[in-house]
Amino acid sequence: MGLRALIPGLSSRRRGHRAPAHDLTLSREEWYARINASPTETDKIAAELRALGLTVESRSVDLGEFEGWCQRHDHVVPKPDPVTLPPDIARLSGGLRREKLLEYFLSTKLAALGPGRRVADLGSAESSFLDLVVKDYGCEGWAVDPALAALPKPSDPRLHHVPHLVSAARTQLPTLDLIALHCSFEMFTPREMTAVLDLAESSLSPEGLLVVSPLYLADTRTVYSDAALPVPEPNDTVPTLRVGVKDYWSLPWSEWHSAGTLFDRLVRPHPQLSLTIHEIDNAHSVHPGCFLRYVGVWRRK
């Protein structure tokens, strides 16, 4: 979540304009339970996606393959010390760690990484994904995140820091084989989400992939924000559920797309990309607290 302190506000409120109220307020544990969607919920959303002509493929994680991968790459996501965590996060930490390992596993598997491949990790300031693909897969990596300006430059010549928002980073990136986002895309403003798709159209090699893992989807477009912060204004007329989360790491914006907003904003305007949505049907077998349900894979035509 490297962008959490750096996402710009969506708009300046007009003088005298009253900010909308949250429609719902949740604790962090209630929020995690909410996004840990049931098969009934995910199947309903999948049907809505297919009705719009989108490709949705059911995918089961090979648990034996995943366990073997975790044994080889377990160092990539360090085990947290529960004593240092807030009690609610400490109770969830086992599932959160498995979730992160699963995100990385699926990205490496979907992209068929190997020596010489060029990978960009967007919203990457606290991510170890590039360390994994550079050291274990022989790739060259570009980390893109404004927070990188405060971090030392990497000593490995195969790693590159681009301390900018995606909309400003395009000219500093080469032709790429994989653009990856892990638990970061939902925190981008609508403008930056569009910039990610623009980057994929302009910078991916033919058959190159943009992988968004998880791709967060909901029945109704939902915007989560810290309950202590002003409610963000989406600046559009799309029906939106606004949810405040207590102690939500001061995040001003976190968006779950409906099938319609996904199609209208992130599919239809980008004809050079084809989208396949992978519905992970056995996430609970990975861990009961695993909340990854969909992975979005845009392929450059």
pLDDT digits (tens, 9 = 90+) for 169-199: 999 999 999 999 999 999 999 999 999 999 9
Contact by Cβ (8 Å): 154, 128? no
State how far the Cα of 240 lies from the Cα of 222, in Å rounded to an integer. 6
Mean residue pLDDT of the chain comes to 91
Share of the chain above pLDDT 70, in %: 93
Which range is least confidently modeled, 1-15, 80-94, 136-150?
1-15
227 Cβ neighbours under 8 A, 6+ residues apart: 22, 25, 26, 244, 245, 246, 248
Share of the chain above pLDDT 90, in %: 85
State how far the Cα of 118 lies from the Cα of 179, in Å rounded to an integer. 9
- Amino acid making up residue 266: L
pLDDT-derived band of residue 122, with 50, 70 and 90 as boundaries?
Answer: very high
State how far the Cα of 62 lies from the Cα of 51, in Å rounded to an integer. 28
Q: Which helix (H) or strand (E) holds 105?
A: helix 87-111
78: which 2 tokens? 């360090």
Contact by Cβ (8 Å): 219, 45? yes
Tell the burial category of 15 from Cβ atoms under 10 Å away from its Cβ (0-12, 13-18, 19+). Answer: exposed
Across the range 54-82, mean pLDDT stands at 95
Is the pTM higher than 0.85? The answer reads yes
213: β partners = 182
Q: What pLDDT digit, counting tens, does each position of 34-45 carry?
A: 999 999 999 999
Domain annotation for the chain: domains and CATH numbers: 29-300 (3.40.50.150)
pLDDT for the residue 269? 97
pLDDT-derived band of residue 19, with 50, 70 and 90 as boundaries?
Answer: low
pLDDT-derived band of residue 137, with 50, 70 and 90 as boundaries?
Answer: very high
